[in-house]
Chain A
């Protein structure tokens, strides 16, 4: 467990670069009704070790968000969504808690918890994150319909790439 910090730093950098160098150019249809925006950097939030102190989780997620913002030229939007997502992460973890509880030394990974559990957990986090992100991007409840549509279009693709990443790297912690 001593290598949790370097692992997460590496994951932070890797996911950030992947997001801004590979997935950002993949987004299209910004103004139209059909719209794709693949968001995979919340995987960092998803995979944070269970015993991560809340301040560390908040600050690292804020840093991730603000860096992504810098690349997307959307100052504060990703940061606000990331901070909210990581702050509320204990909720889905509580809902999906196995009968015998978690091992606090583990991370909530597919390898530890299995595909079914991990898909439910990451699905909830990503859907929530996308919804908050598009809400903050629109910044008014007037656009609720377009917020929901964008969330709906972006969710399957984001989940698809997250599953691929997990299948390739299959991290234990």
Chain B
């Protein structure tokens, strides 16, 4: 009690000031129509602001679940596409859904580490053997291709980035049959080189480079990038083509591991 009295002696002026101002403001807001309207309006604005802030926080925490949910939805759609199916049709009248066998399925994954600065870059994914990820599977995302799984553990997998000096990806110029090998020279993480396109091939800068069905890693027709420039090398029968990637390898977050269901069968022929 003594302490309380001392407290009041020391801060009584401020407390009384505070109480009187509180009374005054209550009167202003309660008894004056105009000020009351402004106050309730401001109060509503503040409430809306806090609602928005709390909504943002909820959104943020819900985002991870949302990504997994959307990946699942995307996978369903991707598996419905023609390039994820193997067609058994041999005659015109056998063309149709019934004649198609599922050729590719996808496993959603999240990138947990990534690099683009060395000559040989790797990514790590949060999905592994337990989820059906195995070595020699392709990895793609919505913008293009990402890499090839080289090693897996139970819960994680190591992915050789397309930005790796050993990466060889079979790719075609869209709309033509010409195919070549996509490699990376270790310089610009936004650009790769397409080799082994023969001199007589016809194309222009701006043509789109896609995956083809010769590789067993990716479904055919995934757009990788556009032709930025090309040069003829003296004494060589092939063009050297610079390809600007659609994919920003520095910012890949959510990817899909490609599971080729016919892989075993195809490997028997090799």
Question: Is B one of A's binding partners?
Answer: yes
Find the residue from A55, A76, A140 having the highest chain B CB count within 10 A: A76
Interface residues of B in 1-46 (CB under 8 A from A): 12-13, 16-17, 20-21, 23-32, 34-35, 38-39, 42
* Number of residue pairs spanning A and B whose beta carbons lie under 8 angstroms apart: 65
For the complex, give the distance between the alpha carbons of A58 and B32 in Å.
Answer: 23
**A140 touches which of B12, B30, B32, B38 (Cβ 8 Å):** B38
Which of chain B's residues have a CB closer than 8 A to the CB of A62?
Answer: 20, 23-24
Given contacts A54-B13, A58-B13, contact A76 B38 (CB under 8 A): no
For the complex, give the distance between the alpha carbons of A121 and B28 in Å.
Answer: 29
Nearest B residue to A54, CB-CB? B13
- Interchain nearest-CB distance for A53 vs B (Å): 8
Query: Is the CB of A40 closer than 8 A to any CB of chain B?
Result: no
Which of chain B's residues have a CB closer than 8 A to the CB of A65?
Answer: 24
B24 touches A79 (CB 8 A): yes
Which of chain A's residues have a CB closer than 8 A to the CB of B42?
Answer: 140
Query: Count the A residues whose beta carbon is within 8 Å of the partner chain — how many?
Result: 21
For the complex, give the distance between the alpha carbons of A79 and B26 in Å.
Answer: 11
Given contacts A76-B28, A80-B28, contact A55 B21 (CB under 8 A): no
- Interchain nearest-CB distance for A87 vs B (Å): 5
B17 touches A76 (CB 8 A): no
B28 touches A136 (CB 8 A): yes
Would you give the 0/1 interface string for A39-83, flagging 1 where the beta carbon is closer than 8 Å to chain B?
Answer: 000000000000000110011001001100100001111011001
B25 touches A87 (CB 8 A): no
Given contacts A87-B17, A139-B34, contact A55 B24 (CB under 8 A): no
B12 touches A139 (CB 8 A): no
**B31 touches which of A75, A83, A84 (Cβ 8 Å):** A75
Given contacts A55-B16, A79-B27, contact A139 B21 (CB under 8 A): no
A76 touches B26 (CB 8 A): yes
**Helix, strand, loop or mixed for chain B's interface?**
helix
Given contacts A62-B20, A83-B17, A83-B20, contact A54 B28 (CB under 8 A): no
**Helix, strand, loop or mixed for chain A's interface?**
helix
Given contacts A84-B21, A139-B38, contact A76 B27 (CB under 8 A): yes
For the complex, give the distance between the alpha carbons of A87 and B25 in Å.
Answer: 16
Which of chain A's residues have a CB closer than 8 A to the CB of B26?
Answer: 76
Nearest A residue to B29, CB-CB? A76
For the complex, give the distance between the alpha carbons of A84 and B38 in Å.
Answer: 21
Which of chain B's residues have a CB closer than 8 A to the CB of A76?
Answer: 23-29, 31-32
- Interchain nearest-CB distance for B88 vs A (Å): 72
Nearest A residue to B36, CB-CB? A139
Which of chain B's residues have a CB closer than 8 A to the CB of A69?
Answer: 27
B20 touches A139 (CB 8 A): no
Which of chain A's residues have a CB closer than 8 A to the CB of B31?
Answer: 75-76
Which of chain B's residues have a CB closer than 8 A to the CB of A136?
Answer: 28, 35
Which of chain A's residues have a CB closer than 8 A to the CB of B25?
Answer: 76, 80
For the complex, give the distance between the alpha carbons of A80 and B16 in Å.
Answer: 12
For the complex, give the distance between the alpha carbons of A67 and B132 in Å.
Answer: 81
Which 8 residue pairs are nearest across A and B when measured between Cβ atoms?
A76-B27, A80-B24, A54-B13, A76-B28, A75-B31, A139-B35, A79-B24, A76-B24
Known pairs A55-B13, A136-B35, A140-B38. 13 more at Cβ < 8 A? A54-B13, A54-B17, A55-B12, A55-B16, A58-B17, A58-B20, A59-B20, A76-B32, A77-B28, A136-B28, A137-B35, A139-B38, A140-B42
A-B contact pairs, 29 of them (CB 8 A): A54-B13, A54-B17, A55-B12, A55-B13, A55-B16, A58-B17, A62-B20, A62-B23, A62-B24, A65-B24, A66-B27, A74-B32, A75-B27, A75-B28, A75-B31, A76-B25, A76-B27, A76-B29, A76-B31, A77-B28, A79-B27, A80-B24, A80-B25, A83-B17, A136-B28, A139-B28, A139-B34, A139-B35, A139-B39
